[in-house]
Amino acid sequence: MRIAIVNDLALAREVLRRLVASTPGNAVAWQAEDGDEAVRRAAADRPDVILMDLVMPRLNGVEATRQIMRSSPCPILVVTSTVTGNYELVIRAMGAGALDAVETPTLGADGAVVNGEKLVARLAKLRAALGDVTRSWLAAPAPCPVPPPSRSAPPLVLLGASTGGPDALGVVLSAFRPGFPAPVVVAQHIGAEFTPGLVQQLALRSALPVRIARDGERPTPGTVLVAASDDHLELACDGTLRYTPVPVNYPYRPSVDVLFSSASVSWPRPGVAVLLTGMGTDGAAGLGQLNAAGWYTIAQNEGTCVVYGMPRAAAELGAASEVVPLPQIGLAVAAHVHAMQKR
């Protein structure tokens, strides 16, 4: 992969340069000393990945991420001196389209890079994701010994998102009013350590309570549950949620496909599923399984996506009942849920 490095500190740039150069298959595309330069360089020479610092002069990493994802979208990993100390900025950067965040490696006394393992692992994960092999990793869901479709069970709403998802999820959830008659379950590609911040961010924009999904609980109407694990969240045959490491080597975690696929056989009546902005193809095959099972399926349209990857894959598969601009998705979901309640 061609990797760009954005950092105002010369030492940090050198550490990252050494780390990139030492990992097989990777090379430095270019370096920038601030966000403003990064926006210009990305427009002239779009790399495979950008390693983006947060605190920089002229234009910080959050706004640089926002501008790059608007004009020259590509995968962005936040690399900052302290994730904990810059937590609010990290969450804002993810809302603008960054994929993940790790702390900046340092140099040891012998000149070797120290604490670079997490960044190397994130780059390997991203390489697998960019390989676009996800469709072949989703196995058909095993049939569940569930009772026939039941009108007593509420319709379920499933939301899946990746790059740019935090902001998009906030827009969708803001359309749901108190007393919303369906449970809502969210799978957003995000590290488990950042999920509490995502939940807080979504709660500020939602009239419904938003919290982390607990292993073994049953989704209930009027509550938004967010997957919070480096494993996957799925619906078991008894209608409860559980975390699972399978598929182990799947590059997207938590996987939208795993959640969607499990719901296609585990929930006793059709609901509504939405696939929002994101890189890659995760969620497209699962959306197709839900569509085939009678669910109403929505993909976000290209014009309102930060990255038109996952929804594009769904549209190309014929998995979406409808392709909808982001500002209209929440209202469309609510209308279909209320219509299903009357059936």
Question: What gap in Å lies between CA 50 and CA 56, rounded to an integer?
Answer: 15
Per residue in 94-122, pLDDT (tens digit) is 888 898 899 999 887 776 777 888 899 88
Chain center to CA of 224: 16
- Per-residue confidence at 134, pLDDT binned at 50, 70, 90? very low
Report the catalytic residues. 162, 189, 282
Q: What is the pTM of this model?
A: 0.87
Q: What is the CATH number of domain 2-130?
A: 3.40.50.2300
Same fold, 2-130 and 146-342: yes
Domain parsing of the chain, residue ranges: 2-130, 146-342
Over residues 305-314, the mean pLDDT reads: 92
Cis peptide before 254 (omega within 30 of 0): yes
Q: 146-342, superfamily in CATH?
A: Methylesterase CheB, C-terminal domain (3.40.50.180)
| Helices assigned H by DSSP within the chain | 10-22, 35-44, 61-71, 87-96, 117-130, 165-173, 195-203, 256-266, 284-292, 310-317, 326-342
Q: Is the pLDDT confidence value at 342 over 90?
A: no
Over residues 11-21, the mean pLDDT reads: 93
Please give the pLDDT value at position 253.
84
Structure tokens at 247: 């598929």
Top mean pLDDT of 85-89, 180-184, 194-198 is at: 180-184
Over residues 245-253, the mean pLDDT reads: 80
